[in-house]
Amino acid sequence: MALSMKQTLACKAAGRSRTVSVKALKYADELVQTAGKVASKGRGILAMDESNATCGKRLQSIGLENTEDSRRAYRELLVTTPGLGKYISGAILFEETLFQKPEVLLDGEHDIDACLEVQEAIWAETFKYLADNKVLFEGILLKPAMVTPGADAKVKASPETVASYTLKMLRRRVPPAVPGIMFLSGGQSELEATLNLNAMNQSPNPWHVSFSYARALQNSVLKSWQGKPENLAAGQEALLKRAKANSDAQLGQYDASGESAAAGERTYEKGYKY
């Protein structure tokens, strides 16, 4: 964006470069509005930004070849699900993935305290750099992993424990100016991811606490679809069911009583690549 003469002079008068903050001005309102729309009540993100290789693995799990046609058919199933917009406020696509965002994987036997320590260190450093670079906090959404024990830890954690550790980490590290915390599911089962989110929304938080799940929104979609055109509606019904469950969890009103055993299936894979 070209600076107006007045703004350029103001910058020079200040005696140091302020280009970054001046540049943000033009887009600041739109950015804040967009972040607010994405982080809106009862809604979260459908993450469908798997690389082609990972999308291929998903398709392989239901016996489909990793061709462009299969990937398109599957992605079309997801985005054309009627009524999905009621629960889903945005989608993340492959090309838009920011691969340098830090990622805390579930791998390991460590306990939940170790995960808390690592996450605190990572987010302290990340927010320091964001602040140093004058990032507009009102215009960002944070997509962290929840604070949980490692996938092979002996002691598992209840949704209440995961919620209490995760919220503790967020309160210690993430300024309230950030509008939304949109969790990844990270290999949790669909049910765990929904129960943990629900537990985090039992009382008000400084940020919109919601979901940006891939595996925990897509696992039962694939199982229902099986790559067969005649199962398209069943696949879309499965997506809508998970989207609504997580929408309820965003509002802290999720009731797990109608869930099938399939929702409890683990989606964890060691050394997972997004």
Question: Total number of residues binding ligand 13P (CB under 6 A)?
Answer: 11
The residue among 229 and 271 lying less far from ligand 13P, judged by its C-beta, is 271
Is residue 90 at the binding interface for ligand 13P, with CB under 6 A as the rule?
A: no
- CA dist., res. 86 & res. 88, Å (int): 6
Q: Which residues pair with 213 in a beta bridge?
A: 46
| Residue 208 CB, nearest approach to ligand 13P (Å) | 17
- CA dist., res. 130 & res. 121, Å (int): 14
Is residue 64 at the binding interface for ligand 13P, with CB under 6 A as the rule?
A: no
Q: Which of residues 207, 213, 254, 268 is near ligand 13P by CB under 6 A? A: 213
The residue among 47 and 221 lying less far from ligand 13P, judged by its C-beta, is 47
The residue among 159 and 186 lying less far from ligand 13P, judged by its C-beta, is 186
Which strands, in side-by-side order, build the sheet including 180-183?
A: 88-93, 44-48, 208-213, 180-183, 141-142
Give the range of 32-40, 57-65, 179-187, 239-247 binding ligand 13P by CB under 6 A: 179-187
- Tokens 């838009």 locate to 96
Is residue 191 at the binding interface for ligand 13P, with CB under 6 A as the rule?
A: no
For residue 160, give both structure tokens. Answer: 């209440």
- CA dist., res. 214 & res. 147, Å (int): 18
Is residue 185 at the binding interface for ligand 13P, with CB under 6 A as the rule?
A: yes
DSSP designation for 146? P
Is residue 184 at the binding interface for ligand 13P, with CB under 6 A as the rule?
A: yes
Q: How far is CA 273 from CA 6, 49, 86, 220, 230, in A?
A: 48, 11, 30, 20, 31
Q: Which of residues 35, 46, 49, 64 is near ligand 13P by CB under 6 A? A: 49
Half-sphere exposure of 33 (CA within 13 A, CB side): 5
Q: Which of residues 144, 159, 180, 186 is near ligand 13P by CB under 6 A? A: 186
Q: Which of residues 39, 147, 157, 216 is near ligand 13P by CB under 6 A? A: 216
The residue among 92 and 195 lying less far from ligand 13P, judged by its C-beta, is 92
Is residue 115 at the binding interface for ligand 13P, with CB under 6 A as the rule?
A: no
Q: Contact at 8 Å (CB) between 188 and 196?
A: yes
CB atoms within 10 A of CB 134: 12
Contact footprint for ligand 13P (CB under 6 A): 47, 49, 92, 184-186, 213-216, 274
